[in-house]
């Protein structure tokens, strides 16, 4: 099976930080991703919004370095949460769980960077989690 996602987008809000009972950090944020396409000879644009979560060390770094408007490259996986409302209705939501995030440009800056400016590359691996209980899926 393959479950891999790559997206480039901008944060729509500042990251939200919370902690699991184990003490491991979870950072959540949303990104807006634009898609341009042509219909006949006219260009159209759509914007999609995706919810993203990061865990452990990656979550700690992202919680400190990201803010609304930052352009990032996300590499991760899709996860489907399922639950039942108090009224008995079944709900689902698909999220992206980030494995790796690269900051492309801070809020308000163009995607091009100068050669002196290094790309921040923040990685996360399963070793960053203290136990399987830290991952809520």
Provide the CATH number for the domain around residue 81. 2.40.50.140
| Of residues 77, 59, 64, 67, the one with CA closest to residue 123 | 59
Q: What is the pLDDT of residue 18?
A: 94
Range of the domain at 86: 5-37+46-127
Does the pTM surpass 0.75? The reply is no
Residue 99 belongs to some domain of the structure: yes
Per-residue pLDDT of the chain (137 residues; tens, 9 = 90+): 899 999 999 999 999 999 999 999 999 999 999 999 999 999 999 999 999 999 999 999 999 999 999 999 999 999 999 999 999 999 999 999 999 999 998 766 654 444 443 444 444 332 232 233 444 44
Residue 134 belongs to some domain of the structure: no
Residue 132 belongs to some domain of the structure: no
Q: What is the pLDDT of residue 106?
A: 77
Count of structural domains within the chain: 1
Q: What is the pLDDT of residue 109?
A: 60
């Amino acid at each position: 099976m393959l479950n891999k996602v790559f997206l480039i987008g901008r944060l729509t809000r500042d990251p939200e930080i919370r902690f699991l009972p184990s003490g491991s950090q979870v950072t959540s944020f949303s990104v807006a991703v634009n898609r341009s396409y042509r219909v006949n000879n006219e260009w159209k644009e759509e914007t999609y919004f995706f919810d993203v979560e990061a865990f452990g060390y990656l979550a700690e770094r992202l919680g400190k370095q990201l803010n609304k408007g930052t352009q990032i490259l996300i590499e991760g996986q899709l996860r489907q949460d399922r639950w039942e409302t108090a009224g008995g209705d079944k709900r689902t939501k698909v999220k992206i769980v980030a494995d790796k995030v690269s900051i492309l440009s801070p809020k308000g800056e163009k995607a091009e960077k100068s050669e002196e400016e290094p790309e921040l590359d923040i990685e996360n691996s399963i070793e960053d989690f203290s136990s399987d209980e830290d991952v809520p899926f």
